[in-house]
Amino acid sequence: MLVWFLPLFLIFLLIGLPVFFGLLAAPGILLWLNDQARDGAMLYRNIYNGIDSFPLMAIPFFMLAGELMNRGGITHRLVEFSQAMMGHLKGGLAHVNVLTSMLFAGLSGSAVADTSAIGSMLIPAMEKQGYTKKFAAAITAASSVIGPIIPPSGIMIIYAYVMGESVAALFLAGIVPGILVGVSLMVTIKFMAKRYNFPAVTKKTTWSQRGKASLKAFFPLMTPVIILGGILGGIFTPTEASAVAAAYAMFIGLFVLKSLKWKDVPKVMTKAAMVSSVVLLLVGAAMAFKTVVSLSHAPEHLAAFVLGLTDNPYVLLFLINILLFVVGMFLDAGPAIIILGPILGPVFVELGVHPVHFAIIMSVNLTVGLATPPMGLVLFVASSVSGERVETIAKAILPFLAVEAIVIFLITYFPSISMTIPLLTGFAK
């Protein structure tokens, strides 16, 4: 009877029940009907146990670092740097949008923060340059998914916590796929720029101007260097790295750049706390949900079903990508990873897929789902920032989603794309 927990959960989502309550109500009802009251009590105790974790402390710290950077005007410096480097190209502001997302990804690790911060600056600027509002919103939403792929990444921290993998290995494995997504979007923009005659923003900047823009962006761009350098050098753990990143962001905002005021700090702290609480509550509920996954023997049933279809790992990886893509249309990446990771991960590891490789396949696929209609979260954020209808943005984003889907399959069938760096550094074996 317990195997019905997932269909019941989906029914709750369809009728509009918040994800947090659906994650608890679906298994709770089934445990009660199955006369397993003791397991039901364990389910709700696991909400706290799921949150009470040292590795998960990295999530609020990274979110705080992103908020401090955003409130301190760091986004503006990244846009200026990107514009100095790429503004002279045809379709320059669209390229700037993507490059800024790639740089901002190394600061916040959040697609929503990326869409909000960059969109509020670049969507109006792109409109003034002659781009349609729907195109500006679409490229902002499409490029924002790079945020959780290039480290630091909140969803990779969640995956590592749930599946017992190395956070450092996942961070390193996400570098090349994140860059590949960004480059593929820029190539698409280049072809679209010729067809639709997109404008360039400025004339080609001199090396002196680029140098000045680089100096202004130097301190923000040092954030990912400090994070990854500290982790790789064994100076601190990923959780400690998140605290260092938050402290560094506050220090440069208050004392170096002086773009952050003391009166802004309480607001930043409050916003970071609110966003973090939502994520951590979902993690706690999903970890409780995972209890019923194990009680129902769903992984074993799924493994038997999947292996009954075919024993060809390439066909299975294709099918699982389709499944994840569909799931990403309706469910946020964090809850989806916690729910499906324990079910799908063991199946593919048994077939010979490296656990870190599968983690990247799943993380990238579900992250792209954040920009996928009908329920992609960043589509709604882009709509809020731009004032354009979600349906209109959803149509405009389709070419970019197609390119990102191609990248997902490249990552899937060429493991070296994601595995080379963690293997060379010894964080994956």
Choose the weakest-confidence range: 123-127, 201-205, 379-383: 201-205
* pLDDT > 60? residue 190: yes
pLDDT bracket for residue 3 (50, 70, 90) = low
DSSP 56-77: GGHHHHHHHHHHHHHHTTHHHH
Residue whose C-alpha is closest to residue 151's, from 423, 418, 336, 424 = 418
Q: Do 370 and 329 contact (CB within 8 A), yes or no?
A: no
Neighbours of 307 (CB within 10 A): 13
User: Hunting for tokens 């009907």 — which residue is that?
Assistant: 33
Residue of 360, 346, 339, 342 lying closest to 303 (CA atoms): 346
Q: Return the pLDDT at 247.
A: 92
Asked if 341 and 137 touch (Cβ cutoff 8 Å), the reply is no
pLDDT digits (tens, 9 = 90+) for 314-348: 888 898 898 888 888 877 788 788 878 888 888 88
Q: Is the peptide bond before 199 cis (omega within 30 degrees of 0)?
A: no
d(CA 56, CA 340): 19
Q: What is the pLDDT of residues 214-261, one digit of tens each?
A: 888 888 888 888 888 888 788 888 888 889 988 988 998 898 888 889
Q: pTM score > 0.85 for this model? A: no
Q: What is the 3-state secondary structure (H, E, C) of 147-182?
A: CCCCCCCHHHHHHHHHHCCCHHHHHHHCHHHHHHHH
pLDDT for residue 1:
52
Burial category of 325 from C-beta neighbours within 10 Å (exposed 0-12, middle 13-18, buried 19 and up): middle
Running DSSP on this structure, what letter comes out for residue 235? S
Helix residue spans in 258-376 (DSSP H): 265-295, 298-309, 313-330, 333-350, 355-368
Tokens representing 167 are 């956070």
User: Are residues 400 and 140 in contact, defined by beta-carbon separation less than 8 angstroms?
Assistant: no
Report the Cα 402 to chain-centroid distance in Å: 18
190 touches 197 (CB < 8 A): no
Q: How much is the pLDDT for 16?
A: 79
Q: How far does Cα 254 stand from its chain's mean position?
A: 28
More confident site: 151 or 309 = 151
Q: What is the separation of C-alpha 35 from the centre of its chain, rounded to a whole number of angstroms?
A: 39
Indicate if the pLDDT at residue 2 is higher than 60.
no
Q: Could you tell me what percent of the chain has a pLDDT over 90?
A: 24
Specify the pLDDT at position 299: 60
| Distance between CA atoms of residues 404 and 364, nearest Å | 9
At 363 the pLDDT is 93
Q: What is the pLDDT of residue 311?
A: 74
Cis peptide bond prior to 374, omega within 30° of 0: yes
Residue 205: DSSP 8-state: P
Q: Give the model's pLDDT for residue 300.
A: 65
**Residue (of 297, 281, 280) closest to 343 by Cα position:** 297
> pLDDT, tens digit, for every residue of 38-94?
666 777 777 777 788 787 888 888 888 878 887 877 778 888 888 888 877 888 888
The span from the CA of 223 to the CA of 231, in Å, is 12
Q: What is the pLDDT of residues 267-302, one digit of tens each?
A: 989 988 887 887 788 778 777 776 666 666 666 666
Mean model confidence pLDDT for the chain: 84
Nearest CA-CA partner of 404 in 180, 108, 196 = 180
Contact criterion met (CB below 8 Å) for 141 and 371? yes
The pLDDT assigned to 24 comes to 78
Residue 33's pLDDT is: 76
pLDDT for the residue numbered 413: 95
Residues of the chain with pLDDT > 70, as a percent, come to 92
The pLDDT assigned to 183 comes to: 95
Q: Do 107 and 66 contact (CB within 8 A), yes or no?
A: yes
| pLDDT tens, residue by residue, 7-47 | 777 788 778 787 778 777 877 777 777 777 666 677 777 77
Q: How far apart are CA 429 and CA 427, in angstroms?
A: 7
Interatomic CA distance for residues 155 and 135, integer angstroms: 27
Q: Which residues, in sequence order, are CB contacts of 62 under 8 Å at separation 6+?
A: 108, 109, 110, 152, 154, 157, 242, 245, 246
